Structures are given as C-alpha cells and as structure tokens.
Amino acid sequence: MKKNITKILALFISAFMLVGATACAGKTDKNNGSETVITFWNPITGPDSGYMDQLITDFNKEYKGTYRVNSDAQAEASHYQRITTSMTDNSVADLTLVHKSRLPNYVKNNILRDITSLVGEIDLKSADYVGDTWTSCEFDGKMYAAPLDVLPTVLYYNRKLFPAGKETEWENKILSDDFTVDEMLDMMMEVAKVDGPASQKIYGMSFNYSYTEPMFLTFLNQLGSQAVDVSNPTEPTFANENGYLAARTVMNIPYATKTDKNNTVRLGQKDTGYNTMGYICSDSGSDHMNNFTQGRALFTMDGIWSAPDACKKTTKVDAGVALMPKINASANRVVSSDGHVFAIFNAAKSPSEAKDKAIVAFVKYVIEHSGYWCEGGKVAARQDTTNNTDYMNLEWGYLSNNLDKIISPVKVYTYKVITEPIGQYVAELCEGVNSKGTKLGYDDVKSQVDQAAEYARQQARAI
C-alpha cells in the first residue's frame, strides 16, 4: 500500500511537472465564447507604459464581449529577443509593436505579413501621415506595418536654472533654429555650480552616456550625411570628416570643450580642473535623468519617451523640450529618430479572420486616440493629431509641426547593424578611451570612428 502511494505520488509529481512545463511554453489565445482574444507584444515599459495600458483597458471595456486585447510588454531588448526566438515555433503574438528601423530587415527576410488590405480596412491613408512615416512602412507598394508615432532624440532644459533676467532670452535661443552646441556649452558653463559640497553641485549637462549613438547620428544628419547608403548596404558611410566631426562634437560635451580641431579651446580653463567631466557635465556612473528630475542639471539629452518624467513640474524643475542643438552654424537643426509601427509576423500563432477583425478594431482605436498616446512622450505621426489641443499644449506638442526636422532611419536592412557599433566607440571617447581623458585629439577620434566603421562593415557582411 505504501509502495503504491509512493508510485502514485511520483506519477502525480511527473504529471504536475509536465503540465507546468506546458503552461510555461506560453499562454494560448482563446475565444471566450463570442469574444475574440488577441495577444499584443510591445516594448512599452518606460514612463509611457501607463498610457498604453490605459488605451488597452479602455478598448477592452468598449469592446467587451466582442474583442479583447491581452497586452504583454517587455523591455526593448527582451521584446526583440522574444520575437526572434518565437519565430522558430510560430508562436509570435497576433499583433506586435516594433521600431520602424527594423522593418527593412524583417521585410528582406520575408517574415512580416503584407497587411495592405488590413490597413485599407482601418482606413489609413498616406495623406493622413506626416513626413515619411507612411513610406517607411511601405515596400514595393505593399504595407508591412501601420505607423503609430515618431520618436526623436531631444534636448530637455530646466527653466528653473536659467539665470535671473535671461529667462526669455535663453528660452528663445534654445528654441531657435540657430542654436548651436557651442552656445549650449556656454550656457552649461554659466549655470554649472562647481564649488561647495558635492551634494549641492549643479551640472550644465547631465550627460546620457548610453545615448551616444542617437547623438552621433543627429550630428551626422545635421551635416547632411547618413550612416549607411541604400545603394551599398554593407558599407558604412560615416568614416569620413563628417563622421569624425560628429563623434568629436559628442565627445566635447562631457569634456565641455568647443569644436576646434585640436581640442585646445577648453571652457573655464582653471588649475582646479573644473572643465573636466564631473563638473560642468556629469560623469558616467550617474543617472542622467535622475539628476535632471532632481533639478541638478540645466540640460539632458534623451528620447522623447522620457518626456512624462522629465517634464513633471516640481519646485526644482520646469522642463522644456527642444530639438538637439546644431553641430555648427552652417548645419541644419535636424534630429535623428525612430518610430513605433504595428506589424503582424508570419509566425503569429494561429491567425484567423476573427483575429484580423479584432486587430483592425484595436489598431484603429489606438490610432484614433494617438493624441492621448502621444501625451505619454511621443510625437504624433498623423496630421489630425495637431487638432488635439491637450497634446499640442504639451511641452513637446509643437514638434508635430516640425516633422520636417525629424529624420527617419535609412530604409536599408543593415541600418541597425551599421549604426549600433558607433554608439559604443563614441561612448569610449566620452569616457576617455584608454585613460587618455582630456588628451584625446583628432587622431584618437579618427581611429575610434574608423574602428567602429570596420566593425560595422564586418558585421553587415556577416549577416
């Protein structure tokens, strides 16, 4: 009897483990009676996640009994990791939100579904969209995604740290088309408080050391260049004078140095070393956004998605949003960007007509409410959003009227592979590669950019 009980127990445990393993393999999509349920994977986990959650809750309430969206958000890296790994066993979600810079590679690999007919059902038209947001989803006349928003790299500034009497002058300067990096450095110098206890330090810039790639691409775009050319996808096009200047300009910000060729014009040159990192500009090892939201920095640079946090009004912060400054007086004040798009993978789990209807209803709902969505730190991709006064009154609402200054990623399958390495190499410059610190000169910058290009070239050829 005892033996039998043990056997039954062992069998029970085995069955339990198997059931557990099956359950872990992924949630299944069900039709709860007449309600069609779809799964939606997205990378919205930042300060904007509450806005997407609200939209989904509202949709599920409005379509109760007919459609239901089960959202599953993961941080960007995990989100894409999950998509690729789910590709092998056809278990990708029914609907996914991806960045438009990844579309060319997906389309080249033939893993996205042509959703031209669904886009037609949603009644989306090219004319309703701003800039190239529509065309970045269109390949050979077919739509492989539905555009949602635009994600530019921006400069956040804290009005509370403007010197008394210069509030209007500085605000106008920062927002004008002529605002340059050198002028920004001057402002940083004027505001930075480097004396006294470290806890009372005020930085001119709380530098985002993990954001050097978009900074570099922005300065490159301002000089009229791109990182890669469509005609030769495996060849980076930034290992040249424009690329060196862009990298040096990014590097000069943490060192508070102006853009002369030999790095001799260092601001506030003093024996105390005030011009080095950690004084005028924050050092790496410090949370850039935390410094900014604590009112300890005049500027910081980040994606527009940080706006809900950065622009929260407090006693120490009254933040504004501007485009990144110009690399020099003759450049155009444009910024690099990306954007979210809705897409359906061929490897979506058990697609059906009923699910398609639910997808159409949901995408239509989100796009119709894109004004609300963009309140969560996005620039609207649709023309009609400019009618939404709530959104347009936000600090970044005005950017929807400036979409000609927001540059989209190059529509080429190697774009991400080519652009990713430069971020790391420029970050090394910013942190004083090989402990050279402030002695970094033109040749060091050239060598780093050339290495990044070589790296990008080899990776692009290997895929």
Number of residues that bind another protein (CB under 8 A): 53
**How far out from the chain centre does Cα 3 lie?**
61
| Cβ at position 65, least distance to another protein in Å | 37
| Cβ at position 351, least distance to another protein in Å | 18
438 binds another protein (CB under 8 A): no
Choice from 307, 343, 417, 422 touching another protein (CB under 8 A): 417
Choice from 36, 222, 242, 291 touching another protein (CB under 8 A): 291
Among residues 106 and 373, whose Cβ is nearest to another protein? 106
Secondary structure class of 313 (helix, strand, coil)? coil
Region near another protein per CB under 8 A, out of 66-74, 183-191, 384-392, 417-425: 417-425
**Element at 159 (helix H, strand E):** none
Among residues 198 and 329, whose Cβ is nearest to another protein? 198
19 binds another protein (CB under 8 A): no
Assign residue 140 a region (left: φ > 0; alpha: ψ between -120 and 50; beta: otherwise): left
24 binds another protein (CB under 8 A): no
| Cβ at position 409, least distance to another protein in Å | 11
Of 200-219, binders to another protein (CB under 8 A) are 201, 209
Provide the pairing of β-strand 142-143 with 406-407. Answer: unpaired
In the block, tokens 């090989």 appear at 434
Phi, psi of 312 (to 5 degrees): -70, 125
Q: Are 376 and 261 in contact (CB under 8 A)?
A: no
| Cβ at position 211, least distance to another protein in Å | 13
Q: Angle at Cα 84 formed by Cα 121 and Cα 416, nearest 5°?
A: 85
| Encoded tokens for 106 | 């997906």
79 binds another protein (CB under 8 A): no
Region near another protein per CB under 8 A, out of 34-42, 101-109, 221-229, 267-275: 101-109
Give the torsion sign (CA, 219, 338, 380, 301).
Answer: negative
| Cβ at position 298, least distance to another protein in Å | 15
| Cβ at position 259, least distance to another protein in Å | 22
| Cβ at position 6, least distance to another protein in Å | 9
231 binds another protein (CB under 8 A): no
| Cβ at position 77, least distance to another protein in Å | 6
Q: How far apart are CA 350 and CA 359, in angstroms?
A: 14
Choice from 5, 21, 127, 164 touching another protein (CB under 8 A): 21
Give residues with Cβ within 8 angstroms of 130, minimum separation 6: 150, 380, 381, 382, 383, 400, 403
416 binds another protein (CB under 8 A): yes
Q: How far apart are CA 415 and CA 221, in angstroms?
A: 14
Choice from 63, 424, 441, 442 touching another protein (CB under 8 A): 424
91 binds another protein (CB under 8 A): no
Choice from 199, 231, 262, 315 touching another protein (CB under 8 A): 199
Beta strands in 330-382 (DSSP E): 335-338, 340-343, 379-380
Give the torsion sign (CA, 107, 112, 114, 120).
Answer: negative
Q: How far apart are CA 188 and CA 194, in angstroms?
A: 11
Paired residues of 206 in beta bridges: 300
Choice from 57, 90, 294, 387 touching another protein (CB under 8 A): 294
Phi, psi of 240 (to 5 degrees): -155, -175
Q: Are 94 and 39 in contact (CB under 8 A)?
A: yes
Q: Where on the chain is the footprint of another protein (CB under 8 A)?
A: 7, 10-11, 13-14, 17-18, 21, 77, 80-81, 84-85, 87-88, 101-102, 105-106, 109-111, 197-199, 201, 209, 278, 282-287, 290-291, 294, 296, 416-417, 420, 424, 427-428, 431, 433, 451, 454-455, 458-459, 462-463
